[in-house]
Structure 1
Amino acid sequence: MRGRWATVVAALLLVGGATASAAADAPADRRTGTTAVSTAVVPEGVTAGVAVFDRRTGTFTEQVDAQAQFRSASVVKLLLALDYLWNRGPAYTVPAADRAWLEPMLRGSQDTAANNYWSANGGPAIISRMVTRLSLSDTAPPPAGSEGFWGYTALSARDTVTIYRYILEKAPAPVRDFVMGNLRQSTRCASDRFDQHFGIAGAFDRPWAVKQGWAGRYTAADTCGPQGAAAATESQPPSASAPAAEPGTRSAAAVDLTRPALHTTGTVGADDRAIVAVLTLHPVGTSYGKAYTDIGRLTRSLNVPGAARPAGKWYGTWGDGVNVREDSSTGTAPLTRLPAGVEVLVGCQERGQVVSVPPYTNDWWAYLPQYGGYISNIYISSPDNRLPDVPECGTPQG
């Protein structure tokens, strides 16, 4: 027994604390005429816009404030890429020099690449062009005074579904294959060293393709990867006061630019059956691990047709910069680090090297299938050294 009850209780409050009840019935979908009843559970304190579209049936299975506008953060990089590809000719050939920008922008959410295309192709004019081309209802360029910040583009969950439907159903095949091929190769560690495999990437087994977004200041924003360099947010100001919108207009002027944003968007299942868009805002002062956990819980609560859910048990963790290692010992090189206080999926556990964090010791290690590595059970929020409902690694199941 470990007995570190104060830490465990605090961590368990993160994992099992009160959440808002399931959202009310969603509004009728203006494109299909159907009405979906949402099963989404939005964590307490989180503002969310959600849309899940089943491409097989042509209906929405989830809509929660789907038309609400959020600052896009890096989700807008989808529009930057589509604008670049729009008139590339019959073959839609992407020169090597542009691949060197576009691939890191789509896979690792590289901001330098986004800055390049924003500056080179007209900034807000990119958004205006794409609004017209894709018939977007809730998307708008950054508000007056913030034209240089692509992440301040207004976007809704509903319009995000429209963007993916264009890519999958209307875009020329080379465009579809280029964009979706890169989103399928999303890297766990983004270019700015944030762990970007939250939401869709954590809630469902492959096949999936994702474009994530985050913006604002998070406390305890640990970096992804084995080293501890300082993390940076996406290249937008940490906060700003937006001017009020003109009556009757649909612009980015009233979008919240202050609270930290975390978005997960993409497709799930064979043949990209489901399009998922979850846009969220979190209270000022929220840690990255808490926001990561909350958007994961919300995404897992959704009705996503064709999705396969990974096996294992979800547990909270404690500690800053917990290393995920190749095997159950500290002698192997770290694969990456966990965001502080994040919830993780534990697939199995095994005995390994004894780890001491005075006054606690533990020789059990948890295998995290989504990371492909192990952490000491000493950092799992459970009162026992051995997790009671997790099998030992190598034990036949079923």
Structure 2
Amino acid sequence: MSHPRSRLGLSFVTAWLVLAAALFAAVPARAEAASPARAASVSVPAGVTAGVAVYDRQTGSFTEQYNAHLQFRSASVVKILIALDRLWDHGPDYTLPSDDRARLDSMLRSSDDSVADDYWTEDGGSAIIDRMVSRLGLTDTADPPPDYPGYWGYTALSAADTVRVYRWILDSSPSALRDIVMGDLRASTRCGVDGFDQRFGIPASFQQPWAVKQGWSGFGATSDCADTTASAARGERVATAPAAGVDLARPALHTTGTVGAGDRSIVAVFTLHPQGTSFGAAYSALDTVVRSLNVPGAVPRPGAWYGTWGSHVQVRAGTSTSSQVLTRLPAGVEALIGCQKQGEQVTIGQYTNDWWAYLPLYGGYVTNIYLSYPGNKLPDVPTC
């Protein structure tokens, strides 16, 4: 038999616990709030606003949520919804006329803005968003502001809703539709039609398999990936006047898609950067966020990351200035170095170096002169 005081103490403790539980239950839960440990695991550079969600389809749970319900202007990520709406009434095989299918492929694989412009006009503009919100049960997705009715890239979207979209495609959509959309995202080209490098975020951080739809807005124009400079498309322009709610002014860079065998993890990372941030700097900041995430099934790319300097730095097929130019690096981007070897001696200004770094993400070499390291040979990179 217990002592009477013990029984009294237990009764008091029991009553206190019941009261505490009731008080706790009265506090509204926030789905986007991560535990302190989880929030601390997401590395967000100073000045960057980020929204993150990583969903493990194998366990049916989130491994990362950070501002997951925060709305961002979608930029080109909304092209997934535009494509789904376009395909919606073409079941059961979702066959489009050949020219229309080629346009849809270009929009999803190479982020073709002209196709998005056409579909937006042909299919009712903001009505596309309204239909997809209803069909997929989206909660954070909203039409572009009334003052920008033609700007599909100003559609509001969150990381949480983006995960929901991918979950519907992978787990609930008809297989023919899923094969079209995911097939295009797996075939994402390194360069967008507008000349921007699409290999940031998920592709830069993880080895294949992955499927991606990227988004960017507010960086003007570039010729890093193209022979001619492309002008900014209508949907990707930056607002000239501030708008309430979703930020339409700061440069935006987003990476979304799936990673791992069987599309195990769904990853959605949305970012905004300080005014004046270059594409290369935003690219590197976004990569920092993505590399900090817990992404089940992902295999990180091996190698060492180094900053670069200079504009239009050429990536060549070999280790000489006569080798074929494959592409050019975004100015100031952080690059993954797989190995290095000696080649032609190059002199640029006061610097002379005969070591060349191999960039696996681009499949080519750059002279070590353009890497942010004081010596000629990188200390932690093997010889090719």
Tell me if TM exceeds 0.5: yes
Conserved in 2, the CA contact under 8 Å of 1:222 and 1:337? no
Conserved in 2, the CA contact under 8 Å of 1:71 and 1:151? yes
1:238 correspondence with 2:238: yes
- Which of 50, 59, 62 is matched with 2:52 structurally? 50
Helix, strand or coil at the partner of 2:297: coil
Aligned equivalents of 1:269, 1:292: Cα separation in 2: 22
Partner residue, 2:134: 132
TM-aligned CA deviation for residue 243 of structure 1:
4.1
Aligned equivalents of 1:231, 1:367: Cα separation in 2: 28
After superposition, give the CA deviation of every residue in 1:347-386 in whole Å (9 maximum; x if it has no partner): 0000001111021110000000111000000101101101
Q: Which amino acid in structure 1 is aligned with residue 51 of structure 2?
A: G
TM-aligned CA deviation for residue 145 of structure 1:
1.3
1:266 correspondence with 2:257: yes
Q: Which amino acid in structure 1 is aligned with residue 320 of structure 2?
A: S
Aligned equivalents of 1:362, 1:231: Cα separation in 2: 34
Unaligned runs of at least 5 residues, structure 2? 1-28
TM-aligned CA deviation for residue 99 of structure 1:
1.2
Partner residue, 1:338: 329
Conserved in 2, the CA contact under 8 Å of 1:222 and 1:340? no
Aligned equivalents of 2:219, 2:225: Cα separation in 1: 20
1:372 correspondence with 2:353: no
Q: How many residues align?
A: 353
TM-aligned CA deviation for residue 233 of structure 1:
3.2
Conserved in 1, the CA contact under 8 Å of 2:250 and 2:272? yes
Conserved in 2, the CA contact under 8 Å of 1:194 and 1:231? no
Partner residue, 1:297: 288
Conserved in 1, the CA contact under 8 Å of 2:51 and 2:70? yes
Partner residue, 1:210: 212
Where in structure 2 are the equivalents of 1:217-228 lying within 5 Å? 217=219, 222-225=222-225, 227=227
Where in structure 2 are the equivalents of 1:317-396 lying within 5 Å? 317-393=308-384
TM-aligned CA deviation for residue 137 of structure 1:
0.4
Distance change (3 Å), C-alpha of 1:210 and 1:88: same
Which one has the largest radius of gyration?
2
Aligned equivalents of 2:156, 2:169: Cα separation in 1: 19
Conserved in 1, the CA contact under 8 Å of 2:140 and 2:157? yes
Aligned equivalents of 2:306, 2:231: Cα separation in 1: 27
Percentage identity across aligned positions?
Answer: 59
Conserved in 2, the CA contact under 8 Å of 1:142 and 1:153? yes
CA RMSD of aligned residues (A): 1.6
After superposition, give the CA deviation of every residue in 1:95-130 in whole Å (9 maximum; x if it has no partner): 201112101100000000000100000000000000
Distance change (3 Å), C-alpha of 1:130 and 1:205: same
TM-aligned CA deviation for residue 242 of structure 1:
4.6
After superposition, give the CA deviation of every residue in 1:321-361 in whole Å (9 maximum; x if it has no partner): 00000011111110000001100100000000111102111
TM-score, L = length of structure 2:
0.89
After superposition, give the CA deviation of every residue in 1:79-99 in whole Å (9 maximum; x if it has no partner): 000001111121111220111
Distance change (3 Å), C-alpha of 1:242 and 1:331: same
After superposition, give the CA deviation of every residue in 1:282-315 in whole Å (9 maximum; x if it has no partner): 0110011100000011100000000001110000
Distance change (3 Å), C-alpha of 1:357 and 1:222: farther
Aligned equivalents of 1:43, 1:232: Cα separation in 2: 29
Aligned equivalents of 1:375, 1:151: Cα separation in 2: 34
Conserved in 1, the CA contact under 8 Å of 2:218 and 2:252? yes
Conserved in 2, the CA contact under 8 Å of 1:239 and 1:259? no
Distance change (3 Å), C-alpha of 1:28 and 1:62: farther
Q: Which amino acid in structure 2 is aligned with residue 298 of structure 1?
A: V
Aligned equivalents of 2:354, 2:50: Cα separation in 1: 40
Conserved in 1, the CA contact under 8 Å of 2:34 and 2:66? no
Q: Which amino acid in structure 2 is aligned with residue 64 of structure 1?
A: Y
Aligned equivalents of 1:29, 1:55: Cα separation in 2: 18
Aligned equivalents of 1:223, 1:269: Cα separation in 2: 31
Partner residue, 2:78: 76
After superposition, give the CA deviation of every residue in 1:178-231 in whole Å (9 maximum; x if it has no partner): 00000011111100000011000101000000000001135xx6423363x324
Aligned equivalents of 2:293, 2:267: Cα separation in 1: 9
Aligned equivalents of 2:156, 2:375: Cα separation in 1: 47
Conserved in 2, the CA contact under 8 Å of 1:195 and 1:224? yes
Aligned equivalents of 1:181, 1:87: Cα separation in 2: 19
Aligned equivalents of 2:231, 2:291: Cα separation in 1: 27
Conserved in 2, the CA contact under 8 Å of 1:226 and 1:335? no
Partner residue, 1:248: none
- Which of 281, 295, 298 is matched with 1:307 structurally? 298
After superposition, give the CA deviation of every residue in 1:18-40 in whole Å (9 maximum; x if it has no partner): xxxxxxxxx7648xx99682311
Unaligned runs of at least 5 residues, structure 1? 1-26, 245-253, 394-398
1:150 correspondence with 2:149: no
Q: Which amino acid in structure 2 is aligned with residue 224 of structure 1?
A: D
Conserved in 2, the CA contact under 8 Å of 1:51 and 1:158? yes
Helix, strand or coil at the partner of 2:44: strand
Partner residue, 2:64: 62
Q: Which has the higher contact order (CA 8 A, sep 6+)?
A: 1
Conserved in 2, the CA contact under 8 Å of 1:214 and 1:234? no
Q: Which amino acid in structure 1 is aligned with residue 271 of structure 2?
A: T
Conserved in 1, the CA contact under 8 Å of 2:34 and 2:64? no
